Amino acid sequence: MSIVPSAKSTGALYWPVQARRNIGVRSLFLVVLAFLIAYGVLFPGLFAASGFAKFTQSWFPLALVAMAQAILMLTGGISLAIGATVSLGAVIAATTMAGPFGVAGGAAAVALTGLGIGAATGFIVVKLRLPAIVVTLAGSFIIGGAALLILPRPGGAIPAWLSDLLAGDTPAAFVLLVVIVLLWKLYLATPLGLSLYAAGENPVGAYRSGVPVDAARVAAYAISGLLSTGAGLFVAAQTGSGDPVIGTAFTLNSIAAAVLGGIGFLGGQGTMRGALAGSLLLSLMISVMFFLGFTPVAQYVAQGLIIIGAVAIPQFRKV
Amino acid sequence: MTAWNDSAGGKRASAILKSRPFLTLAIVAAVWIVASFVSRGFGAYGHLRYLVELGAVIGLVAAGQTFVVIAGGIDLSVAAIVTVSAISLPLLSWQADPTGLVSILAVLVLTTIIGVINGLGVALLRVHPMIMTLAMATFLQGLLIIIAGGSAVTAENPLVHWLGNARPAGIPAGIILWIATSAVVLTVMHATPFGARIFAMGANPLAASLSGVPMTSTTLAVYGISGFTAGLAGVLVLGMNGQGYVGIGDPYLLASIAAVVLGGTSILGGLGTYAGTIPGAILLVTITALITVVNASPGWRSILFGSLILGLLLLSGREQARR
Amino acid sequence: MTTVAPLLAARGVSKAFFGNPVLRGVSIALQPGRVHALLGENGAGKSTLINLLSGALRPDGGEIEVDGRAVPRMTPALARQAGIAVVQQELSLTASLSIAENVGLGAYPKRFGLIDYKELAARAKAACALVGLNEPLSTPVGHLALGRRQMVEIAKALYRKPRVLILDEPTSSLSSTETKILTDLLERLRGEGIAILYISHRLNEVMALCQHVTVLKDGTCTADRSLVGTDATGLVRLMVGRDPGDLFPKWQPFVSTTTAISVRKFSAGLMRDVDLDIRAGEVLGIGGLVGQGQEDLLLGLYGAIPGRTASAVVNGISGLPGGVPKANALGLAYVPADRKREGLHLIHPILTNMMLPAFARLPALKLRSRKTERETGKSLAAQLAIKGDLQRPAQALSGGNQQKVALAKWMPHDPLVLLLNDPTRGVDVETKREIYLMLRTFAAAGKAVVLLSSDTSELVHLCDRVAVVREGRITATLERAALSEEAIVSAAMGAEKQKVAA
Amino acid sequence: TTANAAANCIKGDRKPPYTIGWADIYSVPTWMKQTQGTIEAEVETLKKQGLVDKLVVTDAQGDANVQIQQIQSMIDSNIDAIILIAGSSTAPARVLADACAKGIAIINFDSLVDTDKVTAKVNTDSSQWGDQAAKFLINAIGGKGKILILNGPAGISVSDDRRKGADAELKAHPDVKVLAETNTPYNVAPAQEAVTSLLFANPEIDGILSLGGALSAGAVLALDKQGRDQVPITGENARQFLELWKEKGLKSWATMQPNWLGAFAAYTAVQALQGKDVPAFVKIPLPVIDNSNIDEYLARAKDFPADGYIYSPYDEELFKKLLAQK
Ligand SMILES: Nc1ncnc2c1ncn2[C@@H]1O[C@H](COP(=O)(O)OP(=O)(O)OP(=O)(O)O)[C@@H](O)[C@H]1O
Ligand SMILES: Nc1ncnc2c1ncn2[C@@H]1O[C@H](COP(=O)(O)OP(=O)(O)OP(=O)(O)O)[C@@H](O)[C@H]1O
Ligand SMILES: [Mg+2]
Ligand SMILES: [Mg+2]
């Protein structure tokens, strides 16, 4: 251990703390950067306004669900209901926004549903001490069932102006993502937000230190639900309508993105920027493989290799 | 775990009665009894026998999954392995193998190797099990594109057909296979040093390795076993359906995990028993069958299914505090 | 002084876990300006008592009083408001958070609802300075060595500006320098009128620091008196209820010419190019400041981390063991310092923990014999005085008893070389005595013991030789005749480079 | 569409040879592989004619969101034509509109998208499918009796359309009692499991209305395993089902979603790119398999995968005829 007296002024603590957290994900950042460059070379249109807009739009929902999963995993939880929750969010958006309460009413319904589902799940997992993986598996059937009740088949509608705003040739998705990341940083700068880490890694110690462990975990589930239905709203806007099974694939993808980004399963390990980078890699991979002209078989093989490689290579450098 | 305590007779009996496996079994029985009141034919002997036969497929997949989960991992490639097994068996059948045994063995070797490769990734590349097995499932999809649909000629494998359809002494062969597998699994898990190593590895890998547990070989063995039992399930499911197809294994991924956890094995590793997974598997097929015979819209059915699992989870116990 | 209402007190508290009584009608009163020692054997209920005092657990009976007033439902939050701070043994830290964020955890200064990092930095820095913790405040705690984490835990308690400071074995993983800083600090805090409750198994510290003592035995209070006029022997008598013998067994020279382990230019982890001979029949001590690479030395020899060497002979076989199973096969055994994380499977039965090395080396599919396991377990428990049902999970044992289990599991294998990483940390005197006796007997049987210890007196009185490690090198090897606490400390600090040959 | 106006989305600025993008939703299932086989064969023919130089294939792995991203990439790479089976009947609408605006020929077949912004949609009539199947079954059980309905996954428009298509017939025959309905993937195993449980719960069953895929084979196996007599059943052209039909002497009727829809989509795309007018919706008449022609199908069985579908024969003449219909 280096026993270096701290010469830095005490005022600047926040930024050094942030910088130290990058250490674990640096190599992933490099991989992502390499893919970004490859994408830019293969498709120069990426740097045009519309190319950039479309690219961020296809990444955006995955980024949201990766965050939704990561925040749970940071507290030592997990959700297999993310996909179903995305579907429910999409369905609610597509059935309410064209109705009497309009876009604002619809957005409120989507947000409240997400918060409510998340809080309920969190309550069951945290207060009743049931294993999150099965609770959320059961939850995925219940939530998915609710989506089917609301919209038994794809349909509904999102006002065109909203679709154009969120998923037209505008950088709205990117701006939204920046705002959400800022909000996350803000949340992490609150006592409740930061206690996510303590509550995830060392709940007993955190409790003894006076951290409201249960509240922090339930809040994480609620935020996760909000992010998931939010992703659903965006997907609905992006597609102009609702589909009760549109979110299915997001469950596993969100876990893959989070783990790829260095989020551990035991709680308290990893950072949100890592999870975001993980989701970006998953999204980039699809487009890059297209432009490289991979056949489906090659796509499957390459996808597996990239995922393993991104996780294994940093491990090797540690040894 | 309590069922495997070494306490004296009476204490032991009460421990068994209080144990998770027994509790799960009691819940299965309760669901069966209630369901046969709701629906006339549900409790018929033939139906129960069929449910157990269906449970055998989940039970076989979940056998390997139990090993993996106890060892602190998870195997997301089991569904793809079941499919690979069911699809490649006809391709590997040939004339010089009249009983079909050789082809079955060949397939099981193949799926075991797939499992061992998972283990290599986890143990040597140190890729998280969830990621490693997810990537493996992706690879296997690519493999399936190549091999699926190649079985232009239905290759009749007598042993596979027997497994899927025969009923020696009135008991479906699949159930017999399951019972035999369960006996081996329970013995290996609870009565051998290998089993003890797996529990140790799952509860605290660092302490296990410092205690001399051979981590790499144990990990390879655990994932190999999972590949093997998933392969076996693929053979059985092929026999029961007469035809393999892409997607035949899909239902068994979440089902195997759910059976393991409903049976009381901790998803965090280190605690559990296959004795709980067995009723856990039967519980799942029972609920699925129950949902099928209930007349409701797909949405309500899905909600009912989820609520039942949640309710039973509440009954069958909570995760213990850890760390 | 006794007329003042105690800042914090327990009145006749009882606590049982799953029907097993752990505390029975225990009372304790913490007065301002007094360091109060809480003594007792492992498992006597000390930690449980402080958990009651600090609201982490709720008593089954009796009352907790703050400033003479009963608090019906004590919680950690209430305790904090009442100015009670607890130093738990590295328990309450979060590895991924920085030092400052750990120190302030649960009591962050706020501005507009956000953590005020500026204020946090200032206050954390002040708290850290008190305990001599000078790493950058942004360092993640996970990057710190165990002893430094312990200092963070203490800083965390001080950060709360407590009126009552409770320390549960704060020195067990501290080096002597760090211990000195702490004792000086406690002296000062006492002078400022703070009430201090101090738990330790190191009686010399207790003698030097404390004014009053409460002794617990099997969950009841057996003594509650002033320490004035009591000496260390008297203390031990209070604790064990009879006359203590000598803590350290009589040292007898053992002449042996065979070397158990011999390495040249050995590197592993922090250790660089070390030459070392470990003789059969000796207890070789490893000393030095915490975190100089001592642990890597043991782990490297044990094959648990990769090591390089110019030449190595281990129990007659040349070459380093490539991996733990190979090391075990060569007769090496390792007992880690952090028993909870590295030594034990807390959720598994005590018996299973004891049998694990056997499981690791038996043929994988040979059927187990429950009967033999039970018998082995029973005899080990008897040998090391581990009481109670061996089917309980190891986490139900008190810290000291956990340590015994971590040691006991190697005994059936008759290791030729025992690599011990601070084996008496948190162990009560009686058990320590038993362990010391065991180690000497072990050495006398012609086997080698390597004892890494943070307790210098242990090194002085128990070892045949002590190798002192500093910055990854062995800077001195002190033979028995040259062994003294001063010699070890000065070698560790590098005050003078010495190479004393006997 | 008037006679000399080009087809929808076509601007006439794209010259042969064309690059065709095949946006597959999930390439692993056998039906999809067979479909891809017909596309590849067709593309080979078109290549020989110098009309096509490349077929780009993407696989969305069942995820409608990925399919959208891949279609976007196709647009970005300025592809000439996109043929697709949609992963959602609504989701790709907006990205397809973008493609259409760029003058890319879009032929959507099998699973359709609710949008006009495509060159053409090609499909059988799902509603008619349900209607004809119900007609056959009701007729086969003599206008009254107890039936089970097996349907594909819930929440998907194809299964919903087929089921709705059966409604009118069912309403018209109040003596036909629907005992139970199930939604499962279009596969053998789940159908067999569901039907077995339903048979125990409802000992008297007169017929099974099965709405596609390999569901019927599962139902037949379930009856067979319980030693029950087979009942009239509808189905699709899955090879396993057709073989069971013959083996058990079933009273059956089947139709199909011909795999050559893929080849036809590729053909249509090139036609449209060349400035030919193509109808916005090409309705493919449902081929019917019944006892009169099942032997013809089974005679060709060995050319098809054991877990595949025996589709009706096709040739360019057929394609021309289909395009000519108004
Ligand atoms: N949560 C718990 N569940 C069950 N038993 C417990 C629990 N906590 C403590 N015990 C038991 O209570 C007894 C007292 O434990 P405690 O930790 O208070 O002892 P201690 O005096 O602190 O010992 P040590 O000196 O070893 O730290 C022990 O026998 C321990 O096994
Ligand atoms: N939920 C629990 N179930 C069983 N035992 C527990 C539980 N929580 C704590 N214990 C045990 O009770 C004892 C008291 O807990 P505590 O955290 O105070 O440790 P401790 O005795 O001070 O240990 P150490 O001396 O190693 O720090 C410990 O042995 C701990 O492992
Ligand atoms: Mg204690
Ligand atoms: Mg202790």
**Is B1 within the bounds of a domain?**
no
Q: How far is the CA of C41 from the centre of ligand 1 (A)?
A: 11
Give chain D's mean pLDDT. 91
Cα–Cα distance between C396 and C408 in angstroms, integer?
Answer: 17
**Is B320 within the bounds of a domain?**
no
**Is C394 within the bounds of a domain?**
no
Give chain B's mean pLDDT. 88
Residue corresponding to tokens 């003449």: D317
Determine if the peptide bond prior to D232 is cis (ω within 30°).
no
Query: In degrees rounded to 5, what are phi and psi of residue C219?
Result: 85, 0
Residue corresponding to tokens 């980078």: A277
pTM metric for this prediction: 0.89
Residue in C83, C117, C448 with CA at minimum distance from that of residue C286: C448
Cα–Cα distance between D146 and B184 in angstroms, integer?
Answer: 46
Residue of D197, D302, D307 lying closest to B293 (CB–CB): D197
> Helices (DSSP H) in chain B: which residue ranges?
9-18, 20-38, 45-70, 78-92, 101-123, 129-147, 158-165, 173-191, 193-203, 205-210, 215-241, 252-262, 274-293, 298-316
Q: Are residues C220 and C319 in the same domain?
A: no
Nearest chain D Cα distance for residue B128, angstroms = 23
CB atoms within 10 A of CB B266: 21
Domain boundary among C240, C258, C279: C240
CB-based contacts of C258, cutoff 8 Å, min separation 6: C279, C280, C281
- Tell which one of C23, C398, C425, C432 to mutate to probe ligand 2, the residue whose CB is within 8 A of the most ligand atoms: C398
- Kindly tell me the sign of the dihedral angle through the C-alpha atoms of B30, B36, B37, B39: positive
- Give me the number of domains chain B comprises: 1
Distance (Å) of CA D294 to CA B12, D32, D141, D235, D312: 64, 23, 21, 13, 11
Cα–Cα distance between A210 and D199 in angstroms, integer?
Answer: 59
pLDDT tens digits for range B2-35: 334 444 556 667 777 677 788 888 888 888 888 8
Residue of B128, B138, B318 lying closest to A130 (CB–CB): B318
Parallel/antiparallel/unpaired status of strands D18-24 and D81-84 = parallel
All domains of chain A, ordered by start, with CATH? 18-318 (1.10.3470)
CB-based contacts of D253, cutoff 8 Å, min separation 6: D132, D133, D136, D137, D140, D234, D235, D288, D289, D290
Note which residues in 117-136 of chain A have CB less than 8 A from chain B: 124, 128-131, 133-135
Q: What DSSP string runs through D97-123?
A: HHHHHTT-EEEEESS--S-S-SSEEEE
Query: Angle A82-96/A250-260 helices, nearest 10 degrees?
Result: 120
Q: What DSSP string runs through A187-218?
A: HHTSHHHHHHHHHHH-HHHHHHTT--HHHHHH
**Is B171 within the bounds of a domain?**
yes
pLDDT tens digits for range D242-295: 999 999 999 999 999 999 999 999 999 999 999 888 999 999 999 999 999 999
Q: Are residues C230 and C326 in the same domain?
A: no
**Is B21 within the bounds of a domain?**
no
Q: What DSSP string runs through B150-171?
A: ---S----HHHHHHHH--GGGS
Q: Are residues C187 and C222 in the same domain?
A: yes
**Is C84 within the bounds of a domain?**
yes
Q: How far is the CA of A196 from the centre of ligand 4 (A)?
A: 27
**Is B27 within the bounds of a domain?**
no
Ligand nearest to the CA of C91: 2
- Which of B245, B246, B286 to probe the D interface (max D CBs under 10 A)? B245
Cα nearest neighbour of B269 on chain C:
C347
Q: Are residues C97 and C168 in the same domain?
A: yes
**Is B181 within the bounds of a domain?**
yes
pLDDT in tens, chain A (319 residues): 333 334 344 447 888 888 777 777 788 888 899 999 999 999 888 888 888 888 899 999 999 999 999 999 999 999 999 999 999 999 999 999 988 888 999 999 999 999 999 999 999 999 988 889 889 999 999 999 999 999 988 888 898 899 888 888 888 899 999 999 999 999 988 998 888 999 998 888 898 888 899 999 999 999 999 999 999 999 999 888 899 999 999 999 999 999 888 888 888 888 899 999 999 999 999 999 999 999 999 999 999 998 888 877 766 554 3
Parallel/antiparallel/unpaired status of strands C465-470 and C473-479 = antiparallel
Kindly state the percentage of chain B with pLDDT values over 70: 91
Query: In degrees rounded to 5, what are phi and psi of residue C463?
Result: -95, 155
Q: Are residues C221 and C281 in the same domain?
A: no
Domain boundary among C196, C222, C240: C240
Q: How far is the CA of A196 from the centre of ligand 3 (A)?
A: 27
Q: Are residues C110 and C234 in the same domain?
A: yes
Cα–Cα distance between B30 and B316 in angstroms, integer?
Answer: 12
Q: Are residues C115 and C144 in the same domain?
A: yes
CATH of the domain at C54: 3.40.50.300
Domain span at residue B206 reads 38-315
For residue D24, what are the β-bridge partners? Answer: D59
**Is B107 within the bounds of a domain?**
yes
Q: Are residues C79 and C225 in the same domain?
A: yes
Determine, for residues D88 and A239 on separate chains, whether the beta-carbon distance falls below 8 Å: yes
CB contacts of B44 in chain D (<8 Å) are 200
CATH of the domain at B266: 1.10.3470
- Give me the number of domains chain C comprises: 2
Q: Are residues C215 and C100 in the same domain?
A: yes
Q: Are residues C58 and C73 in the same domain?
A: yes
Residue C48 near residue C22 (C-beta atoms within 8 A): yes
Domain span at residue C319 reads 246-331+416-426+447-502
**Is C374 within the bounds of a domain?**
no
End-to-end C-alpha distance for chain B, whole angstroms: 18
Nearest chain B Cα distance for residue D323, angstroms = 30
Q: Quick check: A149 contacting B, CB < 8 Å?
A: yes
For residue C14, what are the β-bridge partners? Answer: C61
Determine, for residues A242 and D64 on separate chains, whether the beta-carbon distance falls below 8 Å: no
pLDDT in tens, chain C (502 residues): 456 788 999 999 999 987 788 999 999 999 999 999 999 888 888 989 999 999 989 999 999 999 988 998 888 888 988 999 999 866 688 888 999 999 998 889 888 888 999 999 999 999 999 888 888 999 988 888 777 888 899 999 999 899 999 999 888 777 777 888 889 999 999 999 999 999 988 888 888 899 999 999 888 898 888 888 777 778 777 777 766 667 788 877 777 778 899 999 999 999 999 999 999 999 999 998 877 889 999 999 999 999 999 999 998 889 889 899 999 999 999 999 888 889 999 999 999 999 999 999 999 999 999 999 999 999 999 888 888 889 999 988 887 788 889 988 998 888 999 999 988 887 888 888 888 988 888 888 889 999 999 888 889 999 999 999 988 999 999 998 888 888 888 888 775 444 443 3
Q: Are residues C209 and C268 in the same domain?
A: no
Q: Are residues C228 and C257 in the same domain?
A: no
Residue in A246, A213, A216 with CA at minimum distance from that of residue A229: A246
Cα–Cα distance between D160 and D114 in angstroms, integer?
Answer: 14
CB-based contacts of B167, cutoff 8 Å, min separation 6: B173
**Is B246 within the bounds of a domain?**
yes
Residue in A311, A317, A278 with CA at minimum distance from that of residue B130: A311
- Which of B76, B136, B309, B314 to probe the A interface (max A CBs under 10 A)? B309
Domain boundary among C206, C240, C274: C240
Q: Is C489 helix (H, G, I), strand (E, B) or coil?
A: helix
Cα–Cα distance between A277 and A254 in angstroms, integer?
Answer: 12
CB contacts of B204 in chain C (<8 Å) are 341, 344-346
Cα–Cα distance between C50 and B31 in angstroms, integer?
Answer: 47
Task: Report the neighbours of A using a cutoff of 3 or more CB pairs below 8 angstroms.
Answer: B, C, D
